[in-house]
Amino acid sequence: MTAGMPLLGFGLPVSGAWATRENLVHVARRAEQLGYSSLWAYQRTLWPADGRLGPSHRSVLDPVVALAVAAGHTERIGLGTATVCAPFTAPALLASSMASLDAVSAGRLTVGVGMGWLPEEHVATGVPMHRRGARFEEYLQCLVALWTEDPVEFEGEFYTVPRSHLSPAPVQQPHPALLVGGSADAALERAGRLAQGWIASSQHVPATLRRSIETVRRGALEAGRDPDALRVLVRVVPELVTADPGVGRRPFHGTAEQILADAATLAADGVTEVLLDLNLSPRVGTMDVGVGEALERAERVIEELAPQ
């Protein structure tokens, strides 16, 4: 990795027709061989029938299942969720499944969580949208307690855990790194105060990224934590082309050299990791793109943008 470059992660094939077992194994192994720092999967449980989420969300593999497959075919590369909607699963269940994934991956897991925003998913999982922030904050506290206290006992407004032992315990101590998604100031401050870092949405606005990171760091400082220890992950959807697009080029749309330069620019803003995620590309992560066509495009990206 060159000086000033953030770590580079790659999105596992989880969305659309290319999300097959064979492709999961192939992409995971190749990313590890090429020196990528991490592999990531995200969660989408429902696709509203009106189609407003777009085709990349039509069919998405469960992230724990996808990461378990990747864990079984790699040895060193990090694994992460970016993100799972935590409140849709009871804290004890998420704590147990993530601890199990940390165990089978020999301590390579990063747990990225969000509080959810899609009304249909809230209805289907029985979680009210009212007071989402307060619920999510208590959820994070309960999750950490489940991972770090033995026996654990937790009693809050939203969640209760009777005095018990969690099985299994996570391999990483005190627990796997916890990253929090969100864009509102309260969410950013929460990431710095309660987690080990922040995950920026693929819809983040570059002009406001530095301010968002400063808010995350301020949350850490006010909680007496070291802001320099925070991780900041930014998901991008690279569009790799052979020739310079010229005037008006969008970030992460260009040649391999231009895209890697864009990643280096993010490092100057305080970004520690960049996730190259083709699942959200209309040329790769939809049911309308053939498996072979999607994989061919993805292989070109994973090869040409490989860490140097």
Q: Of the candidates 187, 180, 265, 274, which has an alpha carbon nearest to the alpha carbon of residue 230?
A: 180
Supply the pLDDT for residue 75. Answer: 98
HEC string for the chain: CCCCCCEEEEECCCECCCCCHHHHHHHHHHHHHHCCCEEEECCCCCCCCCCCCCHHHCCECCHHHHHHHHHHCCCCCEEEEEEEEHHHCCHHHHHHHHHHHHHHCCCCEEEEEECCCCHHHHHHHCCCCCCHHHHHHHHHHHHHHHHHCCCEEEECCCCEEEEECCCCCCCCCCCCEEEEECCCHHHHHHHHHHCCEEEECCCCCHHHHHHHHHHHHHHHHHCCCCHHHCEEEEEECCEECCCCCCCCCCCCEECHHHHHHHHHHHHHCCCCEEEECHHHCCCCCCCCCCHHHHHHHHHHHHHHCCCC
Hey, what amino acid is at 70? A
Q: Give the confidence band of 247 by pLDDT, cuts at 50, 70, 90.
A: very high
48-90 pLDDT, tens per residue? Answer: 999 899 899 999 999 999 999 999 999 999 999 999 999 999 9
Q: Of the candidates 63, 7, 18, 60, which has an alpha carbon nearest to the alpha carbon of residue 40?
A: 63
Supply the pLDDT for residue 3. Answer: 47
Supply the pLDDT for residue 201. Answer: 85
Q: Is the pLDDT score of 1 beyond 70?
A: no
Average pLDDT over residues 195-207: 88
177-190 pLDDT, tens per residue? Answer: 999 999 999 999 99
Hey, what amino acid is at 283? R
203-218 pLDDT, tens per residue? Answer: 888 789 999 999 999 9
251-293 pLDDT, tens per residue? Answer: 999 999 999 999 999 999 999 999 999 999 999 999 999 999 9
pTM for this prediction? 0.96
Q: Is the pLDDT score of 248 beyond 70?
A: yes
Segment among 33-37, 48-52, 171-175 with least mean pLDDT: 48-52
d(CA 193, CA 208): 20
- Sorted by sequence, the CB contacts under 8 Å of residue 22 that are 6+ apart come out as none
